[in-house]
């Protein structure tokens, strides 16, 4: 069985500070991992995905994530936060298998203060 744990339901940073959102996964098979962002009252937008091609994955809006198998982690980072980054972020996992549904973490709300 697969699962995702997002550490910290709320993260607050100042504008210009480093953003670090934590995600640990559990999987008995090689996983595919995703980060999605959700703005208030909107659907989910894909930020980036890991599909085993490279351990450091770059996504949209300056975000990136590094897959660390030894730590079973896929933390999301951004060097410098912007006010527009305030949103809810979800980590998700799916097994290396076609057409299988995503399993989501509970989400982390990112607040950015000026």
How far is CA 17 from its chain centroid? 18
Residue from 3, 12, 14, 45 in contact with other proteins (CB under 8 A): 45
Task: Mention every residue, 6+ apart, whose C-beta is less than 8 A from residue 69.
Answer: none
**Residues in region 7-36 near other proteins by CB under 8 A:** 32, 36
Instruction: Establish if 103 lies at the interface with other proteins (CB under 8 A).
Output: yes
Range in contact with other proteins (rule: CB under 8 A) among 12-20, 64-72, 78-86, 91-99: 91-99
Residue from 35, 94, 110, 112 in contact with other proteins (CB under 8 A): 94
Tell me which DSSP letter residue 101 carries.
P
How far is CA 25 from its chain centroid? 11
Residue from 1, 28, 40, 98 in contact with other proteins (CB under 8 A): 98
The rounded distance, in Å, linking the Cα atoms of 9 and 22 is 10
């Amino acid at each position: 069985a697969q699962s995702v744990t997002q550490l910290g339901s709320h993260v607050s940073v100042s504008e210009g500070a480093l953003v670090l959102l934590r995600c640990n996964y559990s999987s008995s098979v090689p996983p595919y991992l995703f980060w999605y962002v959700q703005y208030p009252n909107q659907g989910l937008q894909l930020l980036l995905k890991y599909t085993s091609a490279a351990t450091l994955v770059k996504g949209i809006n300056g975000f990136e994530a590094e897959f660390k198998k030894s730590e079973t982690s896929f933390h999301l980072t951004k060097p410098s936060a912007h006010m527009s980054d305030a949103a809810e972020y979800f980590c998700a996992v799916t097994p290396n298998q076609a057409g299988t549904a995503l399993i989501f973490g509970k989400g982390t709300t990112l607040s950015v203060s000026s």
